[in-house]
Structure 1
């Protein structure tokens, strides 16, 4: 048993919505009929950085991304002090032009995916103007990164970049209900702001919904994350992850995939199933016929990650944000196990 995980793991997002109809345990992910044209990665804070890394490293798998309160790809450059300064406080401001040039170099070297796979990407960047943890200027640097990538790389003029940065909320994921925590950054990091961020994310990724979401009626299952370690290598993740499965997906209908990454101090060991049940993604997953994968990180002292953040500065190794990054390779194993074709 990982005692450090049991004592230190902290938090995942949570949000508005009802608990799903059933909750079951399984040792492995089910194999679904995955529609590879409907995939996306989403995340809050460190999860937003992780989502951006996945998109850039494996654009053939996940060309679409929604980043909530996150900055541009490769912002930290493998340095914790840069992560804490430039990439959170915006001092100094991230050098967006240099990051774009670096991404082009890495793509040419095969360290990340081919940029032409982003030709029809949808990118949604949501951040609150009252965010005191990740400065709005950092989130705007992420917007500029995608805009410069789209405008400067041949063939990417079809990339859609939507900047949603004028809403009044703090460092959290806004949810549909009303409450007194919209202007706060407190566990489980769900701001009851009267804005359904999950619904907007799904609309941005997959188009307008056929009908409104009501309550989640599918299955929320657990699965063994250790079984998906790449080549048996520790990916510094929790033992157990979660996956939400709409009834249509379980019935064999074509099903999309959304991977939802929690932020720091937000894994299930700290806030239980708040994020995986209440963030609002499951309700919309039923509407869109999309499975939602909720990977879980773990906290540790060695490597130093006491807040269970996803690796966006290098604690898992120098190649953390490339196709060789251990957490990124774990995710590839997971989505292939779920049924996403290996050829994509």
Structure 2
């Protein structure tokens, strides 16, 4: 009896300790005028999906080594071929037409909410995984959407594709991995991509970034499942809170989506600590949410990619997509006002 009680006590304490490791997201004073989604590779496709599905929440997006919205069309073979290798070339005009129809049908957000959007597309000339032509198609998608949709003339589209780096996120330091695509997929290229992303999304900085002085916290991702539905994410995610946010001041919000094989289970805290976003978050007073995927074989996603081809369901890239609805739940929990 005593042994049983002892075992139950240990089990309860262990369970409580585990639960304590991943608390809920903190409630912040989020400024809805300063929000953006960013991502690398599958995370770039995910960022584009969030932007197109919920432009009223996230009109601004920075896509690193990603292609046009709706590229895969729900087919893995298309994702692996046209949307990564660029063969056959993505049909941009058809994707723009599809996005326009889907917006009118309410499957994605209202295009008018992109009227003052800022879109930054960064990709390396040495990328052998996502062909430069695919990233260029991503830029053409936004350009054609802007030029062909009434009211979007002010949308800013910056195509930054002339830098020499491989399939990675460039960081400020220099090293021998800039021309390689190796874990943790942070290329030491002497180019601070995070700083350029923040400048593109929110304007020139007030001062240079130094070491991050805020707090990187874990949070319970399962608690944010829409209707309890499995969204194929890890149990725990990360959020970075700069000093201004911790002090209760209004702050912006960036949701940063890692790439395939770049989740915490694969690379530890490399992406959430070393990508450079946290340093600039301090300068701009912007919280950074780092959601984390999980690898699985059913559905088939062994590299822990974000869903940009349909493994989570046929509506994966719409307002009904489970991962997209999870993101909305997360930013609402952080304090993004319900009116936006």
The normalised TM-score by structure 1 is 0.93
Q: Does 1:82 pair with 2:70? A: no
Q: CA deviation at 1:95?
A: 0.4
Q: CA deviation at 1:343?
A: 1.3
Q: Secondary structure at the match of 2:85?
A: coil
Q: Does 1:292 pair with 2:297? A: no
Q: Distance in 2 between matches of 1:170 and 1:247?
A: 34
User: Paired residue for 1:225, among 221, 227, 230?
Assistant: 221
Q: Structure 1: which 5+ residue stretches go unaligned?
A: 1-23
Match of 1:72 in 2: 68
Q: Secondary structure at the match of 2:39?
A: strand
User: Paired residue for 2:230, among 222, 230, 234?
Assistant: 234
Match of 1:314 in 2: 310
Matches for 1:115-264 after TM superposition, within 5 Å: 115-264=111-260
Q: CA deviation at 1:249?
A: 0.4
- Note if contact 1:131-1:169 (Cα within 8 Å) is conserved in structure 2: yes
Q: Secondary structure at the match of 2:163?
A: coil
Q: Decide whether aligned partners of structure 1 residues 69 and 214 sit closer, same or farther in structure 2, where only a CA change above 3 A counts.
A: same
Match of 1:95 in 2: 91
Structure 1, residues 294-338: CA drift from partner, whole Å, max 9, x if none?
000000000000000000000000000000000000000000000
Q: Distance in 2 between matches of 1:342 and 1:136?
A: 38
Match of 1:11 in 2: none
Q: Does 1:39 pair with 2:17? A: no
Q: CA deviation at 1:26?
A: 4.5
- Note if contact 2:22-2:236 (Cα within 8 Å) is conserved in structure 1: no
Structure 1, residues 240-292: CA drift from partner, whole Å, max 9, x if none?
00000011101111100000000101100011000000100000000000000
Q: Does 1:303 pair with 2:318? A: no
Q: Distance in 1 between matches of 2:201 and 2:26?
A: 24
Q: Distance in 2 between matches of 1:315 and 1:166?
A: 33
Q: Secondary structure at the match of 2:211?
A: coil
- Note if contact 2:220-2:236 (Cα within 8 Å) is conserved in structure 1: yes
Q: Secondary structure at the match of 1:133?
A: coil
Q: CA deviation at 1:239?
A: 0.2
Q: Distance in 2 between matches of 1:208 and 1:147?
A: 23
- Note if contact 1:25-1:221 (Cα within 8 Å) is conserved in structure 2: no
Following TM superposition, the consecutive aligned residue runs of length 4 or more in structure 1 with deviations greater than 2 angstroms are none
- Note if contact 1:173-1:191 (Cα within 8 Å) is conserved in structure 2: yes
Number of aligned residues: 321
Structure 1, residues 30-79: CA drift from partner, whole Å, max 9, x if none?
00000000000000000000000000000000000000000000000000
Q: Secondary structure at the match of 2:296?
A: coil
Q: Distance in 1 between matches of 2:144 and 2:231?
A: 32
Match of 1:329 in 2: 325
Q: Does 1:341 pair with 2:337? A: yes
User: Paired residue for 1:271, among 267, 270, 281?
Assistant: 267
Q: Which has the larger radius of gyration?
A: 2
Q: Which has the higher contact order (CA 8 A, sep 6+)?
A: 1
The normalised TM-score by structure 2 is 0.94
How much is the aligned-residue C-alpha RMSD, in angstroms? 0.7
Q: Whose helix proportion is higher, 1 or 2?
A: 2
